[in-house]
């Protein structure tokens, strides 16, 4: 007997079948002609699956729609365990970030041009604006904006090698570091002394940065830190370790910036 399944139940069943077949998310997504982030959202139960997609999944994963929708649907645990071990070898990071120093410097300068005059924008807020610009862009386009690697630290995600880059920019007279008092606390701030080269930024990159600035640049350091601590990439990472960009595809609202519900890709 068929039953009405929730999105979460459908996602769980698809995950079980995929692992039983030893397929990675990337491999199954290509076969079904949807994006891998969309498949991740389906498996988590965060995105619905239409009948066409379900038919494609049934062909690739070799299941009957009647069986799939039935109350007694099950996958052999023994087979699943073996397949999961195989899948763990194939479910590797798709894109390894490589720091583009020139791009990073121009993104930093652009954010400072827009925000340095705001009294709340010290180091803490600046680091979070960089983080959300990088990770939001990756979620939307599956490409790295600056390629910066971020580490999970107690006060939130911090880009690695930032001190070195800022030191270089200060030596070349591109930025100035100052100390100011803000609400009875000493605050480290950066003032831009050079213009960002906007030819280094694609229109899509600038658009993502602008949206992050519009949303968060007026937030206090405590507010933006608290917000970043609820973002899935930070939550799912271990203290002191590098934050995996791939975790953006497991975001919930209000952090997710991609509309997974309307996606269908021809590949």
The 3-state DSSP class for residue 124 equals helix
pLDDT on residue 87: 42
The boundaries of every CATH 1.10.260.40 domain in the chain are 7-90
The 3-state DSSP class for residue 112 equals helix
Rounded to a whole number, what is the distance in angstroms from the first to the last CA of the chain?
Answer: 35
Neighbours of 119 (CB within 10 A): 10
Largest CA distance in the chain: 72
Q: Is the peptide bond before 254 cis (omega within 30 degrees of 0)?
A: yes
259 Cβ partners below 8 Å, 6+ apart?
A: none
pLDDT on residue 79: 39
Arithmetic mean of pLDDT over the chain: 86
Distance CA 165, CA 92 (A): 29
pTM of the predicted model as reported, rounded to 2 decimal places = 0.74
> By C-alpha distance, which of 106, 99, 5 is closest to 48?
5
Mean pLDDT per 10-residue segment, the chain (267 residues): 77 88 86 87 86 87 84 59 43 70 97 96 96 96 95 88 94 96 91 96 97 97 94 91 91 88 51
The Cα-based distances of 158 to 134, 153, 221, 239 in angstroms read 12, 7, 13, 12
Distance of CA 105 to the CA centre of its chain: 21
pLDDT on residue 83: 41
Distance CA 10, CA 7 (A): 5
Q: What are the φ and ψ backbone dihedral angles of 62, each rounded to 5 degrees?
A: 60, 55
pLDDT on residue 218: 97
Which residue is listed with tokens 């924008």? 121
Pull the structure tokens for residue 212.
Answer: 């992050």
Contact 90, 24 (CB under 8 A): yes
Pull the structure tokens for residue 149.
Answer: 């690697």
Distance of CA 99 to the CA centre of its chain: 16
- Which of the four CATH numbers 1.20.1250.20, 1.20.1050.10, 1.10.10.350, 1.10.260.40 does domain 7-90 have? 1.10.260.40
Helices (H) and strands (E) in the chain, counts: 12, 4
Q: What are the φ and ψ backbone dihedral angles of 186, each rounded to 5 degrees?
A: -80, 135
Distance CA 267, CA 114 (A): 38
pLDDT on residue 36: 86
pLDDT on residue 227: 95
Burial class of residue 139, CB neighbours in 10 A (0-12, 13-18, 19+):
buried
pLDDT on residue 190: 97
């Amino acid at each position: 007997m068929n039953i009405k399944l929730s999105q979460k139940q459908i996602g769980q069943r698809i995950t079980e079948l995929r692992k039983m077949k030893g397929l990675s998310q990337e491999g199954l997504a290509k076969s079904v002609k949807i994006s891998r982030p969309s498949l991740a959202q389906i498996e988590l139960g965060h995105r619905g699956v239409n009948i066409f997609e379900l038919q494609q999944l049934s062909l690739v994963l070799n299941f009957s729609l009647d069986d799939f929708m039935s109350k007694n649907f099950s996958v052999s645990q023994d087979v699943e365990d073996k397949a999961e071990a195989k899948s763990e070898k194939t479910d590797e990071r798709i894109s390894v970030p490589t720091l583009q120093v020139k791009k990073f410097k121009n993104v930093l300068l652009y954010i400072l041009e827009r925000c340095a005059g705001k009294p709340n924008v010290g180091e803490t807020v600046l680091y979070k604006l960089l983080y959300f610009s990088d990770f939001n862009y990756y979620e939307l386009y599956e490409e790295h904006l600056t390629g910066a690697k971020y580490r999970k630290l107690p006060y939130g995600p911090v880009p690695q090698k930032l001190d070195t880059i800022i030191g270089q920019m200060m030596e070349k007279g591109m930025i100035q570091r100052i100390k100011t008092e803000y609400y009875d606390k000493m605050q480290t701030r950066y003032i831009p002394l050079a213009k960002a080269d906007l030819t280094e930024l694609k229109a899509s990159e600038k658009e993502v940065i602008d949206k992050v600035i519009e949303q968060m640049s007026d937030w206090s350091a405590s507010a933006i830190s608290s917000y970043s601590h609820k973002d899935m990439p930070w939550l799912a990472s271990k203290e002191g370790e590098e934050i995996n960009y791939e975790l953006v595809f497991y975001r919930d609202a209000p952090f997710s910036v991609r509309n997974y519900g309307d996606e269908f890709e021809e590949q």
